[in-house]
Amino acid sequence: MKKTFLFIILIHIVLYGNSQDTPYKTISYSFIKQDKNQIHFFGKSSENFKKICSQLNKLIVQGDGQLKILQIGDSHIQADYFSGKMRENLQSFAQGIKGSRGFIFPYQIAHTNNPENYKSKFTGKWQHKRNITETSATDLGISGISVTTYDSNASAQIIINNHYFPHQDFNKVKIFQNSGDSIFDIFIEQNGVLKGKYNSLGFSEFTTDEHFDTLNIFFIKSDSNQNQFTIHGIELDNDDPGIIYSAVGINGAECNSFLKCNLLENHLHIINPEWIIISLGTNDAYSKNFNSSIFENNLDELINRIQNALPETFILITTPPDSYRKRKSPNPNMQIAGKIIEKIAEKHNCAVWDLYEVMGGFTSMKLWLKAGLAANDKIHFSRNGYSLQGDLLFNAFLSAYDKNIDSGNK
């Protein structure tokens, strides 16, 4: 008992120091329902959350280990404002826990919007494939998108934006790829040329002695049978202890979009996150012809596939926010989708963060728009709006984490 008490005191000193300041973010908008801003745990999800807290405690107090988080979503996530704010909050609320950038995708090669915290450049001709345009199961992975080149002279470059991530360099790289005798040899240029070491799980791996913030990828055709290469995603890592917060999103994605990804489970095994956040539902529930049974079945199957791949992972599902159809008609389906999410969470021992209720509920989107927090389409949010969501979810997490500390969990 004495050890537990001292541990709790130590955690609070590390987090709060001797001042009155706390890591909680100040939320000043009157339409936000602060009393609703909490994580709801169903079944054994609280036990999985305790494991997250234990890992974080070890990281904060001992400076040991990594905590991997993966957020999966639609256009609300692809831009990485919401997830990016969560990443920033989690990596900065205690000293020494900033991890690597984690799993990313070079969206600009696919001619779609890229997060601002890194750039993706390319040469040569590339073709892209997205899960939202596929009609059946296909070779896509957790990113829901891929780029393919048939040009051995093509190249790709990833540049970490140090304005967002100072000192977040990497010396370990995994490039998630296709396989077979027809693929080009892959190399990176980092103070010399390194050839990728292929792993049969579906990626090429590179490890360097030095750390970098820029990745240069190129290909060589060493055999006449080689004629193409596909990139499904890139993981940027290092040996530093810290929180690694990855996020993948596809504009227009529904739950079913990710069900069409044959490589989903395989990529989950490789990334191996301890915490997965699912932020889908806006596109599923947009239409007047919204079929709640189809949404429920698709979400149920998606959770099944994730849990079959990673049975011990803590899963948090966020409800879709309030929105309007064609800027005029408030959409009651979002509340229905939220109730279905709670039902599925209870079935699968997941947790829920109810963004719909926290933001103010039905028709609250117009209040967010008036405050400059939403886009004119009344579906998406401004950068400040997504940042606010990141602060709200962080506060909800921190509240649950504090309760866990106070309960004596180590």
Which pLDDT score, from 0 to 100, does residue 56 have? 95
Residue 14 has a pLDDT of: 57
Class of the CATH-defined domain 101-239: mainly beta
C-alpha dist (Å) from residue 32 to 27, 338, 340: 8, 17, 23
| DSSP one-letter code for 54 | H
H or E, element range at 128: strand 127-130
**pLDDT recorded at residue 10:** 52
* Rg of the chain (C-alpha set): 21
DSSP 315-330: EEEEPPPP-EETTTEE
The residues near 312 (Cβ < 8 Å, ≥ 6 apart) are: 48, 51, 274
Distance CA 118, CA 98 (A): 16
Closest CA to 319 of 364, 266, 272: 364
Q: Are 263 and 139 in contact (CB under 8 A)?
A: yes
68 is written with which tokens? 């991997």
pLDDT reported for residue 11: 55
Coil, strand, or helix at residue 5?
helix
Q: What is the pLDDT of residue 166?
A: 58
CATH code, residues 1-99+241-410:
3.40.50.1110
Residues of the chain short of pLDDT 50, as ranges, are 1-3, 5-6, 9, 18-20, 410
CATH 3.40.50.1110 domain span(s) along the chain: 1-99+241-410
Residues of the chain with CATH 2.60.120.1360: 101-239
- Please report the pLDDT score of residue 12 as a whole number: 56
Taking residue 155's Cβ as centre, other Cβ atoms within 10 Å add up to 16
Reported pTM: 0.94
Spell out where 238-365 has E strands: 242-249, 275-279, 314-318, 324-325, 329-330, 351-353
DSSP state of 67: E
Q: What is the spatial distance between Cα 202 and Cα 205, in angstroms, rounded to a whole number?
A: 10
CA distance 124 to 231: 14
Cα separation of 195 and 355, whole Å? 45
